[in-house]
Every structure is written in C-alpha cells, then in structure tokens.
C-alpha cells in the first residue's frame, strides 16, 4: 500500500488523570488502532500522557480564524460577563 | 470474584484520589448515583432560568437587563455542560428530560419560590448563586472526571452571578426607604430557602454515606451549609439589613456562627411538589419543549435535504 493511502489523525493527550485531553499534534496511520500505537510511540516516549485520543483529521470541523471578528462579535462587547466588572467595597469584595 | 476484584480496584482508585473516567469500570450504584446527582444539577440550571427570566422584560435599566440576560444565558449553558456530562454515563438527553417532565427527577427546590419583586433578582444572584458556588467549589474535587471538569468551568462563569446580585442589593439598600424595604423583604424570603439548598441534615440524608465513600460529594450538607452561613452574615451586615435568623450568634469557641433551625416541614413540602411554583415550573418546561418541536423538526428535515442532495 502506498503512503498516500494513509490518513491523517489528530492526537490528544491527557497528561494526568483528571485533566482534559489536549491537542499535541498529528500523524499518518492506516486506521484508529494503528494511530493509537503510533501516537504512543511518537508522543508519549517520556510518559507525557496517561490516555490518548485519536481523531481522524477529516472529522474535525474548525472555525475560520479569518472570520473570527464577526464569529465572536456577539460576545466581545459584554464586559458585564466578567466578575471584575462589578466594583464592590473592600469589606465584601472577596465573593 | 471478578466483580469483587473490580470493586476493590475501584475503591482503591477513589481512595488514592484518582479520577474515574467514562470508560473505566465502575459499580452500577456509583453510575446511578452520579446520573441522579448530575441530571438533578442540570435540571436545576435549566429550571432556574424561569424565576429570573420573569424579570428580564421589566429590568429597570438597559444595563440591568443586559446583565440579567447574560446571567440567564449562562445558566442555560450550565444545563448543557451538565446534561452532556451525565450522557457520558450512558443515559440519553431524552430520558433525562422525560424524567424531569414526569416528576420522577428533582431539581433544586429553591426554584419553586416565586420572584415577586425586582429585589428578588438581586437576592437570587447573591444568595442562591452564592450557595450554589459553595457547593460547586466543593464538587470541583468530585471523583468523576467529567463532572469535576464541568464544575471547574462552571465556577469560573459563576463568579459574576453572585457579584451582580450583591451589587444590586447594595444599590437598593443604599437607596430610598422603599427600596431598602424591598431589599429586606427579598432577603427575608430567600434566606431560609437558600440554606435549604444544601439538603437535609447529614443524619437525614439518604445518599450521603455512599456519596462520601465514593467521593462524589467531598463535604457534607451541614458543613457546606455552615460555610455559607458564615460567609453570608457579614455581607448582610454590610448591607445594613436585618438578619432573618434571630437566633444567629457568633460562637467564639467553634469559630463559626450558631444558627436557628430551618423549617424542615416547608423543605419537604416544597421538595415533594407543594411549593408555590412547582406545577408552573414543570408545565412551563413542557410547553416550551412542545412549542420548540417545529424548530427541531425543521432542522431534521433540512439535514435530510442536505444529505439527499449530497448523495
Ligand atoms: Fe449555574
Ligand atoms: Fe449562576
């Protein structure tokens, strides 16, 4: 089989129990199983993770950074969503 | 035998503070306990939008309206995080919604109290969200990984809810006599139900023992309630309002407040369906769900169309 038939997979690692998986990179593999083994070999040689997720890159639908201005526009002008927007006197400020 | 080994291994993990993840083996009772607690938590977020939503169109200024709208929107988002978390345990959204609508699942009894005045919006943000935050901070350390992580996310978003509520109460209590009276009345009505949010006394709580052993809960109902009582007392004093608990007294020896007894008859009455708004809250949810059916159908048929075009 030629290398062109390999698919691209995105690799996510959980560094410690209890934490979220984080994207660490990608690799080529025949299928999910092989992607998992490759990911182990490539991305966890120094015990960087306790759990690996592999996802076909094609299955990822990403927002476009070029459009970010209009995409995130509905949230950008709402500072009252932040705790720091509310000024409270020192006596009661620790809430 | 295999089952016993699994049980032991599971408890060892819990004891060693190792988080349980969706694909790990877990006792059926642990799974059920979590589904009950997380779905109840999700329902509370969603039903909790109603009492505050009641005031969105009547907020006294554009600023207050925008704030309230953003808060209620956050609660809807919290519902979503929590339903998704429960789904990692193998229950469907539909099953959970059905349980809410047929009354077999509960939500926090506080949301069965009506919001009669604008000050109630302040009292809810300050006291109800305040009590929820005490509980949720503790749940950040719960043993189930996805639940713990949604608590971290939710706590970050909650921080403004309590502050906007207190700021509102502060404004009213520094205002006219009528405004101050409105703030006091609201505090009087919401203080005790907020204490009830922590659930029955530890000695009466049906799920407490196993929840503590499995570290689903990290602190008991009474301990969390005490924290809330202690943090709230100086906040009431700062507002210059009367404390609703006439028996509240600082206990120097214990380093905490002694307080009066909660009206547990009221607690059980409201939990069991006889609060002011129980029927209305669930009926409203059913109606909204029905009225939204055409949107779900339209989206499904749009998907269908897109698929048949692609084929
Ligand atoms: Fe919330
Ligand atoms: Fe909240």
Work out the angle at residue B75's Cα, subtended by the Cα atoms of residues B230 and B127, and round it to the nearest 5 degrees.
20
The pLDDT-based confidence of B213 (bands split at 50, 70, 90) is: very high
Nearest CA of chain A to the CA of B97: how many Å? 27
d(CA B101, CA B79) in angstroms, rounded, equals 15
Instruction: Give the DSSP H/E element, type plus range, for residue A26.
Output: strand A22-29
DSSP conformation letters of B201-260? -TTT-SSHHHHHHTTSSSS-HHHHHHHHHHHHHHHHHHHTPPPS-TT-EEETTTTEEE-P
B109 near B276, Cβ under 8 Å? no
CA count, 13 A, side-chain hemisphere, B189: 20
Mean pLDDT by 10 residues, chain A (95 residues): 78 94 95 95 91 95 82 81 93 91
pLDDT above 90: residue B277: yes
d(CA B188, CA B260) in angstroms, rounded, equals 14
Q: Is A14 helix (H, G, I), strand (E, B) or coil?
A: strand
The confidence score (pLDDT) of residue B2 equals 66
- Residue B286: partners with Cβ closer than 8 Å, 6 or more residues away: B101
Which residue of B159, B162, B168, B227 to mutate against A (max A Cβ within 10 Å)? B159
B6 near B25, Cβ under 8 Å? yes
Return the ligand number nearest the Cα of B75: 1
d(CA B34, CA B88) in angstroms, rounded, equals 11
List pLDDT tens digits, range B15-66: 999 999 999 999 999 999 999 999 999 999 999 999 999 999 999 999 999 9
**Helix axes of B177-196 and B145-173: crossing angle, nearest 10 degrees:** 160
A22 φ/ψ angles, rounded to the nearest 5 degrees: -120, 145
Tally A–B CB contacts below 8 A: 52
CB distance from B163 to chain A under 8 Å? yes
CB distance from A50 to chain B under 8 Å? no
The confidence score (pLDDT) of residue B1 equals 55
The pLDDT-based confidence of B310 (bands split at 50, 70, 90) is: confident
The confidence score (pLDDT) of residue B120 equals 98
d(CA B211, CA B199) in angstroms, rounded, equals 13
B160·A89 Cβ contact <8 A: no
Show the tokens assigned to A89.
């006197």
The confidence score (pLDDT) of residue A75 equals 73
Show the tokens assigned to B202.
């530890």
| Ligand 2 centroid from CA B158, angstroms | 5
Which residue of B59, B129, B163 to mutate against A (max A Cβ within 10 Å)? B163
**Other Cβ atoms within 10 Å of B165 Cβ, number:** 26
pTM for the full predicted model? 0.92
CB distance from B67 to chain A under 8 Å? yes
DSSP conformation letters of A24-80? EEEEEESSHHHHHHHHHHHH-TTS--SEEEEEEGGG-----GGGHHHHHHHHHT-GG
B133 near B122, Cβ under 8 Å? no
List pLDDT tens digits, range B144-177: 999 999 999 999 999 899 999 999 999 999 999 9
B166·A81 Cβ contact <8 A: no
B281 near B103, Cβ under 8 Å? no
| Ligand 2 centroid from CA B292, angstroms | 24
**Other Cβ atoms within 10 Å of B250 Cβ, number:** 11
Q: How many residues does chain A have?
A: 95
d(CA B273, CA B109) in angstroms, rounded, equals 9
pLDDT above 90: residue B217: yes
B160 near A85, Cβ under 8 Å? yes
Radius of gyration of chain B (CA): 21
Residues in chain B within 8 Å Cβ distance of A88: 163, 166-167, 170
Dihedral sign from CA coordinates of B69, B71, B75, B77 = positive
**Other Cβ atoms within 10 Å of B3 Cβ, number:** 9
| Ligand 1 centroid from CA B158, angstroms | 6
Show the tokens assigned to B233.
């007392």
List pLDDT tens digits, range B220-246: 999 999 999 999 999 999 999 999 999
Dihedral sign from CA coordinates of B83, B88, B93, B99 = negative
The confidence score (pLDDT) of residue B142 equals 97
- Domains with residue ranges and CATH for chain A: 3-87 (3.10.20.520)
The shortest CB-CB distance from A95 to any of B18, B63, B162 is to: B162
List pLDDT tens digits, range B75-123: 999 999 999 999 999 999 999 999 999 999 999 999 999 999 999 999 9
The confidence score (pLDDT) of residue B64 equals 97
| Ligand 2 centroid from CA B113, angstroms | 16
- Residue A66 carries which DSSP code? G
- Residue B234: partners with Cβ closer than 8 Å, 6 or more residues away: A91, A92
């Amino acid at each position: 089989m030629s290398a062109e038939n390999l698919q691209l997979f995105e690799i996510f690692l959980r560094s410690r129990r209890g934490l979220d998986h984080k994207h660490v990179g990608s690799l080529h593999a025949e299928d999910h199983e092989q992607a998992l083994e490759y990911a182990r070999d490539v991305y966890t040689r120094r015990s960087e993770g306790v759990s690996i997720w592999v996802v076909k890159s094609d299955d990822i639908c990403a927002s476009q950074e070029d459009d970010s201005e209009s995409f995130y526009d509905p949230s950008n002008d709402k500072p009252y969503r932040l705790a720091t927007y509310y000024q409270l006197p020192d006596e009661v400020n620790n809430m | 035998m295999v089952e016993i080994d699994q049980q032991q291994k599971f408890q060892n993990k819990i004891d060693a503070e190792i988080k349980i993840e969706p694909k790990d083996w877990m006792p059926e009772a642990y799974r059920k306990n979590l589904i009950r607690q997380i779905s109840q938590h999700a329902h509370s977020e969603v039903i909790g939008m109603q009492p505050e939503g009641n005031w969105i169109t009547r907020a006294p200024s554009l600023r207050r309206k925008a704030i309230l709208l953003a808060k209620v929107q956050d609660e809807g988002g919290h519902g979503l995080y929590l339903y998704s978390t429960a789904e990692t345990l193998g229950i469907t959204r539909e099953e959970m919604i059905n349980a809410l609508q047929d009354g077999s699942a509960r939500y926090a009894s506080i949301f069965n109290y009506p919001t009669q005045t604008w000050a109630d919006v302040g009292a809810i943000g300050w006291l109800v969200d305040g009590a929820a935050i005490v509980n949720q901070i503790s749940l950040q350390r719960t043993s189930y990984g996805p639940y713990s992580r949604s608590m971290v996310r939710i706590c970050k978003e909650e921080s403004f809810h309590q502050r906007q509520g207190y700021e509102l109460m502060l404004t009213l209590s520094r205002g006219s006599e009528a405004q101050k009276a409105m703030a006091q009345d609201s505090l009087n009505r919401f203080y005790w139900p907020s204490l009830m949010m922590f659930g029955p006394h530890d000695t009466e709580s049906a799920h407490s023992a196993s929840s503590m052993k499995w570290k689903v809960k990290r602190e008991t109902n009474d301990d969390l309630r005490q924290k809330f009582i202690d943090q709230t007392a100086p906040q009431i004093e700062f507002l210059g309002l009367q404390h609703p608990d006439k028996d509240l007294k600082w206990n120097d020896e214990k380093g905490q407040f002694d307080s009066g007894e909660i009206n547990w008859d009221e607690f059980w009455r409201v939990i069991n369906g006889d609060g002011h708004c129980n029927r209305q809250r669930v009926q409203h949810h059913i109606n909204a769900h029905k009225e939204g059916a055409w949107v779900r159908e339209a989206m499904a048929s749009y998907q269908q169309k897109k698929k048949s075009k692609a084929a």
